[in-house]
Chain A
Amino acid sequence: MEKAIRKYWPAFLLPTLAAFIIGFIWPFVWGLYLSFHKFTTVSKTTFVGLSNYVKVFEDPTFVSAFWFTAKFTVVSTILINIIAFLLALALTRGLRGTNVYRTVFFLPNLIGGIVLGYIWQILLNGILTNLGLPLLALDARYGFWGLIILMCWQQIGYMMIIYIAGLQNVPGDLLEAASIDGATSLQTLIKVKLPMVMPSITICTFLTLTNSFKLFDQNLALTGGEPAKASQMLALNIYDTFYARSGPQWKGIGQAKSVVFCLLVIVIALVQLHFTRRKEVQQ
C-alpha cells in the first residue's frame, strides 16, 4: 500500500511542495540570507555580517515598538481570556437566548482587521472628541487602550467558542459528584471545571498571545503608529523600516528585524509547546 502511494508523489506531494517552496521556503531562506547584507535592489547586495542586527537593537523605534507590543500582548491576553471564559461560563448555564448571544459575540471575528480598525477609529475618535480628549492618533495612551478594546471586541467571541466547547466536554457525572459532595459553585469552578478545561486555556492563551504579538492590520488602520511611532507595534515597525524609510541601509535592517521578530515568535511557540506537552503527560 505504502509503496503504491509513494509512486504517486508527483500528484499528491508535488503541487503543495512546489507552492510551499515558492511561497515559504525560498522566501524564508532568501530573507535569512539578506539579513546579513546591505542592499537597495536584491541584485546588488554587500555582505555586512552582523552589523544589521547590531543596528536593530540600536534603533530606538524598534525597542520602543517591542515594549509597546509586549505590554499590549500581556494586557490583551489576560483581558480577552478572562472575559471570554466568563462569557463561556454564562453561556453554558442553559440561559434562554444563549444562541443569540453566542452569534453576536462571535460576529466581529469575521470582519477583517483593516475594516475593524476604521470602524473603531471612527467610534473612538467620536467618543474622545465629545469628551474633549486627544484623538487616538495624538496620544499613545488612548492609542494603546483603543487597540486593546478593538482586540477584545474581535477576539473574545472566538476564544469564547473554544471555552464553551471545553466546558461542554466536562463530564456531567463529575459535576454531579461535586454537587453531591456539597461543593459550592465556586469550588466546582476552581476544582473541577478549571482543570478540565486546561487544554482550552492553553490553546486560547497561545492564540491570543501570537495574534496580539503579530498584530498588523488593526494597528495600521486604527492608529497607524501615531503619534510619532509611539503606538507602533513590531510588525508595523518592520513594515515601516522596509517601505517607509528610504536609504540603502534600511532594507537590510528591516530584514534583520524580521528575523529577530520571527525568533521571538518561535520562542513563544516553543514555550507554549512545552506547557502543552507537560499537560498531556499529566492527564
Chain B
Amino acid sequence: MKKIVALVLALTLCMALAVTACADASVYYLNFKPEQDTQWQELAKVYTEQTGVPVTVVTAASGEYETTLMSEIEKSDAPTLFQVNGPVGLANWTDYCYDLSGTALMEHLTNESFALKEGDVVKGIAYVVETYGIIANTKLLEKAGYTAADITNFESLKKVAEDIQARKDELGIDGAFTSAGMDGSSDWRFKTHLANMPIYYEYKADGITSTGAIKGTYLDNYKAIWDLYINNATCEPALLASKTGNDAVAEFVGEKAVFYQNGTWAWNDISALGAENLTMIPIYIGVEGEENQGLCTGTENYWCVNAEADQEDIDATLAFLEWVITSDEGRKSMSQDMGFVVPFDTFTGEYASTNPLVAVDTEMTAAGKTPISWNFTTMPSEEWKNGVGSALTAYAAGTGDWDGVVTAFVDGWKTEYDLTH
C-alpha cells in the first residue's frame, strides 16, 4: 500500500510529461516588424473568428529575428510563415522554403521582380515595398530661401546644406542634418542604406547584380556624402558616437534639423510635422547623370512558408495569406493601418497607401526618375555591415581614418563572402 503512495508521486511527474498538443491545421507567423505587431495580432483574431483556423502571430524583439527564428524552427511547433530579407538571407533558409509558384500570392504579384527565386522555384514573395531618401523639412528649407527643387545633384545638395549650416543660428536650428545615431538603433541608415549607393553604381557600371568581391569604385563618393552628413550635422562629428536613433528623430521632429535620411517606414515617427511640410529627396553622391536619379525603392521583407511544416498547416498558411491580400479587412489593415505599399494587384483604389512619403516616390517615378534598387540585400553578411558601421563611427570620431572604411568595405566583403560560400 505504502509503495503505491510512493509510486503515485513519481507517476504524477510522468503525467506532466505525457501531455501532448493535438494537431489541427493552424498558422504560426513569426513577424519581423515590431511596429506592426498590434495590427497583425488583430488581423489574426479576425481571421480566426471568421474561419475558425487558429493564427498565432509572434513578433521577434528588435535585432533578434534570426535568433528567434533559429530557435523556433527547431521546435515541434515551428513557424509556418516566416520571412527572409533577400538573397543572402534566403541562402540560410532555402531548405525551409516551400515553393510558392502557382499560389494566389504569386498570381496577384504586380511585378515578378518582387519574387525571390531560385531557378524556377519561388522561395519568397515580397509583401511590402519601401522607399528611402533624404527626408527634408520644406518649411525650414523655404525659411532658408530654398525649395526642394533646387537640389538636383550632389553639388547643389552640398551647397544648400553648407549654406544652411553656416546660417544655423539665424535659422534657429542646430544643423542641416540630424545626428547620425551610430549605435544599433539607427546605424543601419548608413552602414546599410547609405552604403547601398556606391554598391548600386558599381553594379550598374559593371552590369552585374551581385558579386563576391566588391571593388569599391564609388567609395570616394561614399566618403563625400558621409563627410557632408557629419560635418553639417546638429553636433560635432566627434560627438556623433554619443547620439542614438531616438535623438535623431527628436531633432527632426523638434525642427532642429532640415534633413533626415530615412524611409517611408519612419512616417509615423515624424508625422507631427505635417505632410505639407515634408518631402523626400534622392541621396545624391556625385555620380555623373545623377540628376535623373530617383529615390531608393525596394524590399527586404519576403514571406516564406515553412516547407518542413505539415501539409495541412502549409495549406492553412497559404489560405491565410490569400485572405490577407484579397479580403477587405486584410487589405485595409495592410495598406492603411500598417501603412505599407503592397506589391499585389488587389491593392488599388481605396487600398493604395496613404503614406505621404510614398506619394513623393510615386510622383518622382511618374516624372521619369530612375528608382535606385536595394542592392544591400546582396551584402555578404551582418558581420560585414557591422564592420563598415564601426569604421564609419571611428572615422567620424577621428579615431580612425577613411582607409579603415575602405578596408572594411572591400576586404571585409571578400572575407565574409568566402566564409558563407
Contact = CB atoms under 8 A, between A and B. Distances in A.
Real binding pair? yes
Interface of A: 7-8, 10-11, 14-15, 18-19, 22, 40-42, 125, 128-129, 131-135, 137-139, 224, 226-229, 239, 242-244, 246-247
Given A11-B6, A18-B13, A138 B70 contact: no
Contact of B241 (A7, A11, A139, A242): A139
Contacts of A138: 182-183, 241-242, 393
B397 A224 contact: no
Nearest to A41: B74
A243 B182 contact: no
B93 A246 contact: yes
A10 B397 contact: no
Nearest to B89: A246
Given A18-B13, A227-B390, A135 B183 contact: yes
B420 interface: yes
B242 A134 contact: yes
Contacts of A244: 66-67, 70, 382
Contacts of A8: 2, 6
Across chains A and B, which 8 residue pairs bring their CB atoms closest together, nearest first?
A246-B92, A11-B6, A134-B241, A243-B67, A137-B183, A129-B242, A228-B386, A14-B10
Nearest to A246: B92
B158 to A, nearest CB: 26
Contact of B184 (A18, A224, A239): A224
A105 B363 CA distance: 62
B13 A135 contact: no
B390 A246 contact: no
Contacts of A40: 95
5 contacts: A7-B3, A10-B3, A10-B6, A22-B17, A228-B387
B393 A132 contact: no
B244 interface: yes
A114 to B, nearest CB: 11
B184 A137 contact: yes
A98 to B, nearest CB: 40
Contact of A246 (B70, B182, B389): B70
Q: A40, A134, A247 — which one has the most chain B CB atoms within 10 A of its CB?
A: A134
Interface in B31-82: 63, 66-67, 70-71, 74
Given A11-B6, A18-B13, A22-B17, 9 more contacts: A10-B9, A11-B5, A14-B9, A14-B10, A131-B242, A132-B239, A134-B397, A135-B242, A227-B389
Nearest to B71: A243
Contacts of A42: 74
Contacts of A226: 183-184
Contacts of B95: 40
B386 A135 contact: no
Nearest to B183: A137
A221 B93 CA distance: 28
A62 B373 CA distance: 36
A10 B238 contact: no
Contact of A19 (B13, B67, B70, B239): B13
B7 interface: yes
Contacts of B383: 228
Interface string B230-269: 0000001011011110000000000000000000000000
A190 B71 CA distance: 53
Contacts of B184: 137, 224, 226
A152 B395 CA distance: 33
Nearest to A8: B6
A247 B14 CA distance: 36
A135 B242 CA distance: 5
A225 B295 CA distance: 34
Given A243-B66, A243-B67, A244-B70, A11 B242 contact: no
Contacts of B14: 18
B386 A11 contact: no
Contacts of B243: 129, 135
A11 B10 CA distance: 6
Contacts of B7: 10-11
A11 B1 CA distance: 13
Contacts of B386: 227-229
A14 B9 CA distance: 9
A227 B7 CA distance: 55
Contact of B420 (A41, A131, A228, A247): A247
